[in-house]
Amino acid sequence: MKNPFLHRQLTSLTCLRSLELTLLDKLLCDEEELDKGASWIVEGDTVGKVSVISRGWAIRFKLLDDGRRQILNVLLPGDVVGFFALLFKTAEYAVEPVTPLGVHCFSPEPAFEAFRQAPRLAVALSWLAGQGERQLDEQIVRVGRRHATERMAHLFVELNHRLQRVGLMAEQTRQFPLTQAILADMLGMSQVHANRSFRQLVQDGLVARRGGRIQLLDTNALSQRAGFDASYLEQNALPTPISQALAR
């Protein structure tokens, strides 16, 4: 099993058999290592392959002409990066590791052959891409309509849920390698505003910053502060009609 975090996400669908999981492992190349801050995917460049994070954190973002940055999502172990590289020629975003990163990759040709042999695998990976779209929908609401401390609390609780979802240990799901600059660019704030919002959560006893990492101290209170509804992160089995269609 090359990427247990990816396996954990996909097996929740209950549609994959040993055939699909074996094909998935054959599809993934050996782990490649990327340094923190490395120029990994550049907006406008040809991607040419799909990657799956095996360890570490990265950010997906868009840059404006004047250098301002909007972070679209934080990428965690088990996340698929560039799935639509199978269909589109160039990347419409950039990706940068914020910690040392491990990734497994696969190219379009063997991917399409695997999908031909195992349509269930194509459905499962498409489902993961759909999960990313649901997270992006929530990011738009978070930045556009939530108040500053609500935004930050909501992001922290989402990351905690996503880390739990792939089976990381409790202490790992509550420690985030995120800087004030990343928080500001993720949440559509100035760094001064992000720092003020973070200090408020610190004063309320909900978070702390220790050893260069953010630590969550009270996830229940953070959820209440954010009005968090985890339904968009749920990983349930595929709907019955789809499961029945795949079983034919």
pLDDT in tens, 112-154: 999 999 888 988 888 888 899 999 999 999 999 999 999 999 9
Structure tokens at 51: 């990657």
Give the residue with greater pLDDT, 49 vs 208: 208
Give the structural domain span for 210. Answer: 4-247
Kindly compute the dihedral angle of the four CA atoms of residues 202, 205, 211, 214, in this order, to the nearest 10 degrees.
Answer: -70
Per-residue pLDDT at 162: 95
The pTM for the full model equals 0.93
Cα–Cα separations (whole angstroms), residue 50 to 6, 7, 165: 13, 16, 22
Residue 241 has pLDDT above 80, yes or no: no
CATH classification of the domain holding 69? 2.60.120.10
Mean pLDDT of all residues in the chain? Answer: 91
Per-residue pLDDT at 183: 98
What letter does residue 105 receive in the DSSP assignment?
E
Query: In this structure, are strands 58-63 and 207-210 parallel, antiparallel, or unpaired?
Result: unpaired
Per the structure, the count of domains in the chain is: 1
What average pLDDT does this structure show over 98-122?
92
Per-residue pLDDT at 224: 97
